[in-house]
Structure 1
Amino acid sequence: MASPLKFGVELELFLGHKQGKSPYKSWTDLADTLSRRLTRAGVPNHVKKRGVKETYKDWSLMREMTIGEDTMNALYGIELVSPVFDARQSQWVVDIQSIYRVLDKHFTTYESPKCSTHVHVSTSPDALTKEEAANLAAAVLYYEPAIDTLMPAHRVATNSYWCRSNRVSHMFAGIESVQGIQTIDGYVQFCKAEHRAGRPIPVSPSPSGSLVGLDTALKIVRACHEGGEFGMDQAMNWFSASSAYGQTKGMTPDFVKGKVYKWNFDSLYRSKDAPSKDGTLEFRLPPGSLCAEDAGMWVSLAVTFVAGVLASVHLNDFPSPAGSGASVYELKVLLEHGRTVLGWQDLGLLQDQLDQLEQLQL
């Protein structure tokens, strides 16, 4: 890991007034009130204005359209986007605790399956190498089942749209549709030729409905990396031009659409040659955070995972056959290593959750 990790967190919330208090008349009314209370609590922030570019130097309050609003009950969807934090420092913990103290005292936070917590991790000002990006991609695939055990069922459901498994990336799923190709390298070469010609990889008329095998996905990642034609954004976040979304947008070749996968590699790339110095790997799987402990757990999971992978994992480290992927114990070892690299004292609530889940797997 060439430089210290940095990260930002996005907290999607469904908020309303405290019982016994006057309801908010509009989203702007709620946002302005929250902004004032956060400022008084020592959390620098602003309400985002349309057309103004974000600098990520303080917290930004913005309307979250995917949550929506319930005007009859004066409930509104809002997203709190953090400044860029240095993972070696504890200011993020202070901020998150202050934010939720304000929310607990002055607002009612409602649970909603439309809410989520996203964490962006970067190595800025240095860029990831192509090999590091491939190592992260392989780790995302291998550790997926263990990470899933930490999540509520609706976030890992097969019909989840905004946080689907990276193993349904069309780069992996397309292999079931291509006939007459005997090797993984041959399949990736076929994808290369089709993509250069502006043609999509075929979609099977009778899809199996199951995820492509983990071994196959890992081998495709390795072949994409070694062949040099496809970045990990394409390997992990490819979308079919034949999909309903692709047809609506008039796409001809397959394309990257990272914001619907558990891990979004699209944000790592500003050009298709290599990851950029200001790129981020976005972890999109966690649900909305109803308390500071939840938000802290999801930040800890994403940041220590990336730190652990970059410090200790290589593309060829994963066992073959990889079976069903990592156990909770393997995930815990990786996160502990990441914690050590970052200089953190512990994993907080995440440690307790991992210990409990590990006991269930024994």
Structure 2
Amino acid sequence: MADQNSFQFGVEIELLLGSRKKAHANWKSLAKDLSKRLLKAGIANHVNEGNEKTQENYLEWSIVQEVTIPSQPAKNLFGLELVSPVYPIYAYWAADLATIFNALHASFTLVASPHCSTHVHISGAPAALSGPELAALAKAVLYYEPALDQLVPPGRRSSTAYWCQSNRVNPSLCSLANLADCLAVIDAAAASSGAGNVRPVVEAMNLFPAASAYGRAHGKKQDFVRGKVYKWDFTGMLPPHGRGTVEFRQAPGSLIADDATAWITLTAAFVMGAMAVGPQLSGVGGGGGASLEDLWALLTGGAQALGWDGLGAVEGLFAHSG
């Protein structure tokens, strides 16, 4: 990645919450209450009832319904997602997260749920990640997967976790028992990518089987790209509808500001570190992949390249790993 090319990101924070002060008949009522309290705290936001993906919806925080989180109306609990605006990686975003979670805890009960997650979308700025940079990231994702697994709850490690499966179970890689062979597939995909064409790398990481229940239901005759079921979703890099982002989907739900801050910091440092380390991974990986110590070194290097003084809240993830 060129020295002048930094990052911008967005975060989606899934929550199961209920008001401490009043009962709500439905999700919409709770969302309007939350919106009002965030506005009072100084956080510009709106309720995005239709979960529209238009550019205007990313100019400020938005509140959307999250149907994958089972609501419990009898307990006054509803699932929703807070979607951030696009932030430069060097901006004031950590202060905004602190303000948001202070407002949440002042007026609402946040319930831990295995259905909740924290998704971080990241892109190059001002230039998008190139094909070689995307391949470097893809190889780092595969090589460092065992270490990243140790930072998340068990339910977000297994390939049976539908919404954050290992990228190695996709049809491009699932028949390969050796990590080195998987990395070779990424190298081959990068080599076959023309100028500005990253599709071969995306397909190597995010194919989904036509024979799956989803594929059959949608009439698919051949394997197809579908990123929202894998730990890392590269499909945002594909035109015409992609926004030039890669999404880290494995992180669990965030109940405090430090949780969300840690996952954003980790994602940015990981991507930056991968730019330097990824190209060197060709031909390695005959064993089980990276250790926690290897991952820490990658993240430290990424943080230094970003000009950060340490990794902050990420240290807490390592302190509770295992």
TM-score, normalization: structure 1? Answer: 0.82
Q: Deviations over 1:47-76 (max 9, x none)?
A: 114385342111010111111311111211
1:251-330 to 2 correspondence within 5 Å? 251-270=220-239, 278-310=243-275, 312-318=276-282, 320-330=284-294
Is 1:332 aligned with 2:301?
no
Structure having the higher Rg? 1
Is 1:48 aligned with 2:48?
yes
2-structure distance, mates of 1:319, 1:330:
17
1:89-238 to 2 correspondence within 5 Å? 89=91, 91-173=92-174, 175=175, 212-228=177-193, 231-238=200-207
Cα deviation, residue 25, structure 1: 2.0
C-alpha contact 1:9 1:81 (8 A) present in aligned 2: yes
C-alpha contact 1:143 1:331 (8 A) present in aligned 2: yes
C-alpha contact 2:117 2:251 (8 A) present in aligned 1: yes
1-structure distance, mates of 2:216, 2:31:
37
Cα deviation, residue 87, structure 1: 0.6
> What is aligned with 1:72?
74
Is 1:343 aligned with 2:307?
yes
Q: Secondary structure at the match of 1:259?
A: coil
Q: Secondary structure at the match of 2:163?
A: coil
Q: Structure 1 residues 331, 51: closer, same or farther in 2, change over 3 A? A: closer
Q: Structure 1 residues 49, 320: closer, same or farther in 2, change over 3 A? A: closer
2-structure distance, mates of 1:280, 1:126:
11
Q: Secondary structure at the match of 1:69?
A: coil
2-structure distance, mates of 1:309, 1:113:
29
Cα deviation, residue 228, structure 1: 3.3
Q: Structure 1 residues 288, 353: closer, same or farther in 2, change over 3 A? A: closer
Q: Structure 1 residues 112, 246: closer, same or farther in 2, change over 3 A? A: same
Cα deviation, residue 340, structure 1: 1.3
1-structure distance, mates of 2:279, 2:307:
25
User: What letter matches 1:75 in structure 2?
Assistant: L
> What is aligned with 1:205?
none
Aligned residues: 314
Q: Secondary structure at the match of 1:123?
A: strand
Q: Secondary structure at the match of 1:313?
A: helix
Q: Structure 1 residues 291, 169: closer, same or farther in 2, change over 3 A? A: same
Cα deviation, residue 319, structure 1: 5.4
C-alpha contact 2:13 2:253 (8 A) present in aligned 1: yes
**Structure 2 portions without partners, runs of 5+:** none
> What is aligned with 2:215?
246
2-structure distance, mates of 1:111, 1:353:
17
Cα deviation, residue 288, structure 1: 0.7
C-alpha contact 1:124 1:279 (8 A) present in aligned 2: no
**Structure 1 portions without partners, runs of 5+:** 177-211
> Percent of aligned positions with the same letter in both sequences?
42
C-alpha contact 2:152 2:251 (8 A) present in aligned 1: yes
TM-score, normalization: structure 2? Answer: 0.92
C-alpha contact 1:88 1:344 (8 A) present in aligned 2: no
Cα deviation, residue 131, structure 1: 0.7
